[in-house]
């Protein structure tokens, strides 16, 4: 009977990412407060890392915002702020509806800690069997794996699952739920941005739930595995 100890979640990050054409200088804490998206006290106490025409980056107690000319990202490290994150992005881009956008990502990253180094290595063997590599490399080990699948709905995009080992005993598992504009959508206009705003409103919770299920599926599959291909057995 398999009695291996289940790994535990040591940390979590949730991010909403938009790809488009942004003016980073707009995204200052004072602007968010002026629009009623955050409290004035939050804006005054914000940790501003940089404000420049090419990049804007600041931190509040609960959210981090980073903006480049082609990428907007807001992320949290506590599930307690999921609704706040969703509402912040919906409010921001409902206000900035004329900002050109073309892609959306809802990303969940969980950092898992394994009970022993042996189990940590076994998880790497589970995701990336070593026999194909053992005769090609000396002591092959997984440094990262990315597997992409089609979306489970009728929207354009994909789902990308990634696993990357951290320091000994830890693995980061990430799910990128990626949305593209419909083929007949107007690109670069208000309609495109509002399409993504509506997807965040309607799909944010379901997207994170799917991501959690995908990660749980990987962990459950690993725990049910009895033998691992660690490369010690020669291929026929």
Per residue in 56-86, pLDDT (tens digit) is 999 999 999 999 999 999 999 999 999 999 9
Decide if 47 is inside a domain.
no
| 109 inside domain | yes
Query: What SS3 state is found at 52?
Result: coil
Instruction: Tally DSSP H helices, then E strands, for the chain.
Output: 6, 9
Instruction: Identify the bridge partners of residue 180 per DSSP, sorted by sequence position.
Output: 103
SS3 category, 137: coil
* pLDDT mean across residues, the chain: 93
> For residue 44, is it within any domain?
no
Number of domains in the chain: 1
The CB-based long-range contact list for 39-45 (8 Å cut-off, 24+ gap) reads none
Helix axes 117-127, 190-224, angle to 10 degrees: 120
Q: Confirm whether 64 is domain-assigned.
A: no
Q: Establish if 122 belongs to a structural domain.
A: yes
Residue 52 forms part of a structural domain: no
Which helix (DSSP H) or strand (DSSP E) does residue 106 occupy? strand 101-113
- Which residues touch 67 (CB under 8 Å, ≥6 apart)? 22, 24, 27, 55, 56, 57, 73
- Distance (Å, whole) CA 176 – CA 84: 20
Assigned domain for 198 exists: yes
What is the pTM assigned to this prediction?
0.92
**Parent domain of 154:** 8-22+70-224
pLDDT digits (tens, 9 = 90+) for 132-187: 898 899 989 899 999 999 999 989 999 999 999 988 999 999 999 999 998 876 66
Question: For residue 101, is it within any domain?
Answer: yes
């Amino acid at each position: 009977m398999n009695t291996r100890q289940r790994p535990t979640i040591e940390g979590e990050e949730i991010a909403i990412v938009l790809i488009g054409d942004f003016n980073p200088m707009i995204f200052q804490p004072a602007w968010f407060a002026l629009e009623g998206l955050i409290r004035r006290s939050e804006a005054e106490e914000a940790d501003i890392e940089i404000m420049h025409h090419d990049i804007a980056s600041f931190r509040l107690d609960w959210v981090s915002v980073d903006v480049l000319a082609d990428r907007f990202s807001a992320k949290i490290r506590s599930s307690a702020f999921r609704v706040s994150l969703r509402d912040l992005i919906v409010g921001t881009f409902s206000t900035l509806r004329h900002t050109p956008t073309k892609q959306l990502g809802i990303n969940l990253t969980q950092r898992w800690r394994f009970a022993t180094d042996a189990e940590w290595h076994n998880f790497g063997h589970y995701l990336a069997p070593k026999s194909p590599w053992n005769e090609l490399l000396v002591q092959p080990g997984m440094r990262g794996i990315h597997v992409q699948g089609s979306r489970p709905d009728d929207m354009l995009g994909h789902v990308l699952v990634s696993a990357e080992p951290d320091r000994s005993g830890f693995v980061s598992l990430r799910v990128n739920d990626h949305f593209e504009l419909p083929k007949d959508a107007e690109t670069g206009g208000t309609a495109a941005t509002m399409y993504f705003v509506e997807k965040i409103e309607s799909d944010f919770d379901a997207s994170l739930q799917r991501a959690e299920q995908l990660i749980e599926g990987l962990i459950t599959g690993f725990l049910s595995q009895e033998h691992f291909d660690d490369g010690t057995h020669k291929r026929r």
